[in-house]
Chains A and B, each alone.
Chain A
Amino acid sequence: MMTSAVNHYFRSSIGRKHLVGITGLLLCGFLVSHLLGNLLLLVGPDAFNLYAHKLVSLGGLLYVLEAGLALVFLVHMYLAVRLNLENLRSRGKYAVKKRTGRGTTLMSATMPYTGMILLVFLVLHLMNLKFGSVYTTVVDGTEMRDIYKTTMEYFASPVSVGWYVFAMFCAAFHTAHGFSSAFQSLGWNHPKYYGKVKIIGYLYAILVGGGFAFVSVWAYLKGV
Chain B
Amino acid sequence: MASTTDTMSLNLKIWRQKDPTVEGKLVDYKVDNVSPDQSFLEMIDVLNDQLVRKGEDPIAFDHDCREGICGMCSMTIDGKAHGGFKNTTTCQVHMRLYKSGDTIVIEPFRAQAFPVIKDLTVDRSAIDKVMAAGGYVTANTGNAPDGNAIPIPKPVADAAMDAAACIGCGACVASCPNGSGMLFMSAKVSQLALLPQGKPEAPRRALNMVYTHDSLGFGNCSVHAECEATCPKGISIEHIARANREYMKAAFSYHEKTHSEGGA
* A contacts B directly (C-beta below 8 A): yes
Q: How far is the CA of A95 from the CA of B245 in the complex (A)?
A: 36
Is B36 in contact with chain A by the CB < 8 A criterion? Answer: no
- Chain A 176-190, CB-CB to B under 8 Å as 1, else 0, gives 010011001111111
Contact B179 A91 (CB under 8 A): yes
- Most-contacted residue by chain B among A5, A6, A18, A186 (CB, 10 A): A5
Interface hit among A54-62, A65-73, A82-90, A162-170: A82-90
Question: Is B40 engaged at the interface, CB distance under 8 Å to the other chain?
Answer: no
Q: Write out, one digit per residue, whether chain A residues 150-172 have a CB within 8 A of any chain B CB (1) or not (0).
A: 00000000000000000000000
Cβ of B226 within 8 Å of any chain A Cβ, yes or no, is: yes
Of all chain A residues, the one with the shortest Cβ separation from B225 is: A103
Contact B251 A5 (CB under 8 A): yes
CB of B111 within 8 A of CB of A92, answer yes
Q: Which residues of A contact B219 (CB under 8 A)?
A: 13, 86-87, 89-91
Residue B230 at the A interface, CB < 8 A?
A: yes
Q: Contact mask B232-264 → A, CB, 8 Å, 1/0?
A: 000011101111111110111011101000000
| Cα distance, A12 to B211, chains bound together (Å) | 7
Distance (Å) between the CB of A79 and the closest chain B CB? 10
In angstroms, Cα B98 to Cα A73, docked, is 49
Q: Which of A41-49, A104-112, A209-217 contacts B (4 or more CB under 8 A)?
A: A104-112
Stretch from B47-55, B61-69, B146-154, B169-177 that touches the partner:
B169-177
The one of B178, B227, B243, B245 in contact with A87, judged by C-beta atoms closer than 8 angstroms, is B178
Q: Which of B224, B241, B252 contacts A188 (CB 8 A)?
A: B241
> A96 contacts which of B105, B213, B247 (Cβ < 8 Å)?
B105
Which of B26, B80, B176 is close to A95, meaning CB atoms less than 8 Å apart? B26
User: In the complex the two chains form, is B220's CB within 8 Å of A83's CB?
Assistant: yes
Interfacial chain B residues near A16, Cβ < 8 Å: 220
Q: B217 — which chain A residues lie within 8 A by C-beta?
A: 89-90
Interface residues of A in 1-19 (CB under 8 A from B): 1-3, 5-6, 8-9, 11-18
- CB-based contact A185/B226 at 8 Å: no
Assess the A90–B223 pair: CB atoms within 8 A: no
Q: With contacts A94-B79, A104-B225 known, is A194 near B84, CB below 8 A?
A: no
A contact residues, range = 35 or more
- Interface contact B107-A184, CB-CB below 8 Å: no
Query: Would you call A108 and B251 a contact (CB within 8 A)?
Result: no
> How far does the Cβ of A86 sit from chain B's closest Cβ, in whole Å?
6
Q: Are A90 and B112 in contact (CB under 8 A)?
A: yes
Contact A89 B112 (CB under 8 A): yes
CA of A32 to CA of B226, assembled, Å: 30
Whether A90 pairs with B247 at a CB distance below 8 angstroms is: no
Partner of B226, one of A1, A103, A194: A103
Q: Are A184 and B76 in contact (CB under 8 A)?
A: no
Tell me the bound Cα distance from A120 to B244 in angstroms: 32
User: Which residue of B86, B180, B208, B229 is within 8 Å of A13 (Cβ)?
Assistant: B180
Chain A residues lying within 8 Å of B226, measured Cβ to Cβ, are 99-100, 103-104
B221 in contact (CB, < 8 A) = yes
Asked if A95 and B105 make an inter-chain contact with CB atoms under 8 angstroms apart, the answer reads: yes
- Using A87-B177, A103-B230 as known contacts, say yes or no to A92 and B224 having CB atoms under 8 A apart: no
CA–CA, A3 and B250, complex, Å: 11
Tell which of A12, A18, A96, A100 touches B107, judged by Cβ atoms closer than 8 Å. Answer: A96
Give B31 Cβ to nearest chain A Cβ, in Å.
Answer: 19
In the complex, A84 Cα to B261 Cα: how many Å?
Answer: 39
**B244 and A18: CB pair below 8 A?**
yes
CB-nearest residue of chain B to A5: B251
User: Can you list the 3 inter-chain pairs with the closest CB atoms, starting with the nearest?
Assistant: A92-B110, A90-B219, A187-B245
**Extra contacts besides A2-B207, A90-B179 (16): CB < 8 Å:** A1-B211, A5-B254, A5-B255, A8-B211, A9-B248, A12-B211, A13-B214, A87-B180, A90-B218, A92-B179, A96-B78, A98-B84, A104-B177, A180-B223, A184-B237, A189-B238
